Structure 1
Amino acid sequence: MTQSPNDGPPVAATRDDPLLRHLSERLGGPAGKRLRPRFSPTSILLGLTVLGILLSALTSQYCRINGWGGVGVYHAGCYSDISALFSQRQLGDAPWSPLVGPGYFEYPVLTSLVAALLAASTRFLLTQDLTMALGWSTERASLLYWDLSFAAAAVVWLVLVLAVMKAAGARPWDAAIVAVSPAVIFGIGINWDIWAVTALALAILAFGRGAHISAGVMIGVGVSFKLFPLFMLGAVLVLALRRDTRLGFDVFLRTLGGAVASWLVLNVPAMLLSFSSWSEFFELSAERGAGYSSPWHIWQLIAEGRGGSGLSAETISGLSLGLFVAACLGVLVLGVRAKHPPRMVQLLFLIVASFLLLNKVYSPQFMIWLIPLIALAAPRWRDALIWQGFQVLHFWAVWMYLAGIVGDQDPQHSFDSALYIAAVLGHIGATLYLMAQVVLDILRPERDPVRHASRAPESGAAADPMPASELR
């Protein structure tokens, strides 16, 4: 993998970002030109990530002590699909059932593999005396399973921060948005989404360094965890269709070839092993109706409140897909018609954000999907913090709303529908605001903070090498 031409002296975040520059005035002012930091950006960012990991672990202490059952998990904000699935799908007794059945496990192959490996590890460790001595027991096997899953996710989080730091080139400090992200702190223990997010970040890094086949391979890996890394191919295709970049259609084909090859290598064995287990994810995606926190769910709530019946699952699926296709066409027109070539990650951000807004469900952990894309596409700390503030509001709103549905407590201990709807609309509005900022950056490249850090020419004309800022 070649070195990015944008890897130069790091941009001082306290001089570049308006919010950080303002806040730094209380701590001695922005970093000076002669600053000689004792620690490298890598060590500081990893240290910040370790701090984020510790804070994330603390947010789940109620559930680690009291278990993941009952309405208390919602009031404490530590609900986890990971521990719930371990118990409900009996992974302790049949750890390999996500891959071979007969149990039901509605996730792509690599997520199923991670879940199975962690379940098998849990089963093995519970037979060891040392494990019992450290406080885990067979009566609470889900605790050990969650702890192992969280530890693995913590390592993946460190890799994600390093990948974003490298992909950011001369702006390594933008990776701090990922390292100390409240969205990741609250969301990493819910599900396995961090694995797909990291695979996508590695694909972005490889693509930015010209390793297009490797980028495609990581896209295939990411799709085998979750669907959304597939959308990177759309962003690459938009740039390949322009005539003023060095990204010809052959680049798209190499990226596509790497993605298809890796996806087949990972998925064909799973199909042969148990096609019914492999296909459960796709069947669920096609058949499910409106899920919590999606605009479709809000539509259903409002319709039911007025005495209506809402939309059928088939209608919601058709509308969701149709609107997402329309959004992708809009990104295509924007990317092709823009005066200057957009950066690939800007287009990718718009596609993924559109998918999140129009999808049939918006689970709380989905907020993790956009964090590295914000750091690379729109690295403004004020906007990133505003967006994450609305995400954290939604995080608590959906748990309190669910507590009111499944629990038996006084109304003051839960959110009613009006507050929940307001929080959902807030997270939708915040995402639309970020999308508008990215669109403005594409139409007016001079306001894009990433381009300011590029030492290469910004024109992207066919006669010049394509700037790394446009590759990423």
Structure 2
Amino acid sequence: MTAAAPERQDQGLPGDALALAGGPLGRHASARAASWPATVLPLLVAAAVTMALSVLQRSHCIQKGWAGSDQFWHGCFSDLPSLYQLGRLHDGLGSYLTGSGTTSDHPVLSGSLLALLGGLVPDGAFLDQTRWFVLLWAVVATACALGIVWLTAATRPRHAALAAHVALSPVLLLAAMVSVDLFGVVLVSAGLWLWARRQPLAAGVLLGLAVTARTYPLLVLLALLLLGVRTGRFAAVGRALLGAVVAVAVVLVPFLLGNPGAILRSIDVWWQSAPGLGSVWMLPQLVGLDPLPPGLATLLSIATGVLALLAGTVFALRPGPRPTLAQVSLVLVALVLLTGKAFPVQASLWLVPLVALCGLRWRDHLVWAGAEALHFAMVWLYVAGLSTPNRGLPPGWYAVFLLLRVAGVAWLVVRVWRTHAAVPARREPVPTAYAPPGEDTSAAVDDVDDEEDDDELAGDFAGAPDRLLVRIT
């Protein structure tokens, strides 16, 4: 009997670059354990370099400060200094928990992290304090980035080089220092890793903590639920959801007692806000029409968000090979981002580890990242132009780059959808990651990274037959 196509270790990097990242095991290697560190450790170094470059890219603002439009001309804007000042974060975590001064528009766990870092800032001139605050976040962000790389590699150990999509991502370099989104991303990555290791309760706890740091982990939990419906593995999904609920409750208890307003503050701010940067609902005002009122923008965002969830549901439950948890999560997260009332540059960090876990090709990653990089540069020129029109980017041109970014994110959805559609019926997994000498290791379909052999994220879904499918005719 002919062996099934082997798992390949080289999908995260171009073939010639694998030597720089440790490379895959040779065909005569004795143990996979020897190659996993050889692949992952260089990627951890690469991630640290990426984060150092991200800090270096903000060097002008670190030297001169974040006041005025200079931060936009130099592309070194960050939310952190204004959050530190307006939220009175210097008062620390205790003040945030009791509601006695410190405030934050972020979900409560991210707000707690901001307050904790603010409390560590030494006294001094305001510019020095903001420098300390930004650099403290740089340390935490680097730890988060390293954690995401490690967790991504550990979640797909036979394809550990896929973690290069995180370590070398231009999106990580550009957006990591804008806000604290990486904190939520590392919690989601830990939750997916634990699910892959068949620890649904612990996975749910981490995903629940992530929900209190960002809102998008709710979509990852929805992806779990949809695949649970498809497979009938309700017990495992139920444990994950229970863990998430317990984690959210534990985080919220101190705020219920001391600062209940903090729990819904981020939702209230979103509900009442006008369409924000990056959102398609900002297009009318960019092309010279009247801006959408906040209430109408909220209604449109919710309505199209529901359609996005329905599309993700169809993807998860349609007949054919079962998509992976990462694939369903990416489709849901990307579509909801595209329909949201705001799509800030840092929100794209949510997609980075999902791109890696889906096993997308570097060409697809770079198409998306290129659109993100262009938008990143142009959004600050547009914002600066609001105060200095003769130097900034005109609104109509910003609309072009906004749509280009939308097309880049949509491209990821299309590639995941089409790649999964090209996967033939699943075969029994090969017990080793490499083929016998002389056997052809090329994929049957150009854009398929051996998902048909094994789903490393399956966790408790592994081996389960499909119980419910939805056919759209």
With the length of structure 1 as denominator, give the TM-score of the two structures: 0.84
Aligned partners of 1:82, 1:275: CA distance in 2, in Å?
Answer: 23
Q: Give the whole-Å Cα distance in 2 for the aligned partners of 1:80 and 1:142.
A: 11
User: How far does the alpha carbon of each residue in 1:97-141 deviate from its partner, in whole angstroms, 9 at most, with x for none?
Assistant: 443244542111111111111111114xx4xxxxxxxxx856521
| Equivalent position to 2:234, from 229, 249, 252 | 249
Q: Partners in 1 of 2:224 and 2:462 — Cα distance?
A: 20
Q: 1:120 is aligned with what amino acid?
A: G
Task: Give the alignment partner of residue 260 of structure 2, picking from 265, 275, 282.
Answer: 275
1:347 is aligned to 2:324: no
Q: 1:110 to 1:458 in 2, by over 3 A?
A: closer
Deviations 1:67-113 (A, max 9, x none): 11111111111111111211233323566444324454211111111
Residue 275 of structure 2 corresponds to 290
Q: What residue in structure 1 maps to residue 470 of structure 2? A: none
Find the counterpart in structure 2 of residue 80 from structure 1: 78
Aligned pair 1:172/2:160, yes or no?
yes
CA 1:466–1:345 in structure 2 vs 1: closer, same or farther (change >3 Å)? farther
Cα distance in 2 for partners of 1:458, 1:218 equals 16
How many residue pairs get aligned? The number is 433
Structure 2 residue matching 1:355: 3-state secondary structure = helix
Q: Does 2:337 align with 1:337?
A: no
- Residues 334 and 279 of structure 1, relative CA distance in 2, 3 Å threshold: closer
Alpha-carbon separation, structure 2, partners of 1:454 and 1:38: 19
SS of 1:170 mapped into structure 2: helix
Q: Secondary structure at the match of 2:386?
A: helix
Is 1:315 paired with 2:296?
yes
Candidates 397, 404, 410, aligned match of 1:426: 404
Q: Does the 8 Å CA contact 1:350/1:435 hold for their aligned counterparts?
A: yes
Deviations 1:437-458 (A, max 9, x none): 1111232224464435845899
Of the three residues 175, 179, 192, the one matched with 1:204 is 192
SS state at 2:202 partner: helix
- Which of 187, 196, 210 is the aligned partner of 1:222? 210
One-letter amino acid of the structure 1 residue matched with residue 60 of structure 2: Y
1:359-410 per-position Cα deviation (integer Å, ceiling 9, x unaligned): 100111111110000011142111101111110110011000001013x37x
> Could you state the TM-score of these two structures normalised by the residue count of structure 2?
0.84
> What whole-Å deviation, never above 9, does each CA across 1:39-66 have from its counterpart, x for those lacking one?
6112111111111121111101101100
Structure 1: any 5+ residue segments left out of the alignment?
1-8, 127-135, 468-472
Paired residue for 1:301? 286
8 Å CA contact 1:164–1:376 kept in 2: the answer is yes
Pairwise CA distance, 1:202? 0.8
Compared CA separation, residues 384 and 83, structure 1 to 2 (3 A): same
Distance, in Å, in 2 between the alignment partners of 1:451 and 1:385 is 21
Asked if structure 2 preserves the Cα contact closer than 8 Å seen for 1:290 and 1:296, the reply is yes
Tell me what 1:20 maps to.
14
Contact 1:374–1:384 (Cα < 8 Å) also in 2: yes
In structure 2, relative to structure 1, the CA distance for the partners of 1:269 and 1:94 (3 Å cut) is closer
Aligned residue runs from structure 1 range 56-67, under 5 A? 56-67=54-65
1:385 aligns with 2:366: yes
> 1-side partners of 2:234 and 2:103: how far apart?
41
2:281 and 2:341 in contact (8 A); partners too: yes
Match of residue 87 from structure 2: 89
Pick closer, same or farther for the CA change 1:202–1:466 going to 2, 3 Å: farther
Q: Percent identity?
A: 27
Alignment-mate amino acid for residue 222 of structure 2? G
Q: Are the aligned partners of 1:203 and 1:219 in contact in 2 as well (CA < 8 Å)?
A: yes
Q: Which structure 2 segments of 5+ residues have no match?
A: 1-5, 425-444, 467-473
Q: Which among 41, 44, 62 is matched to residue 42 of structure 2?
A: 44
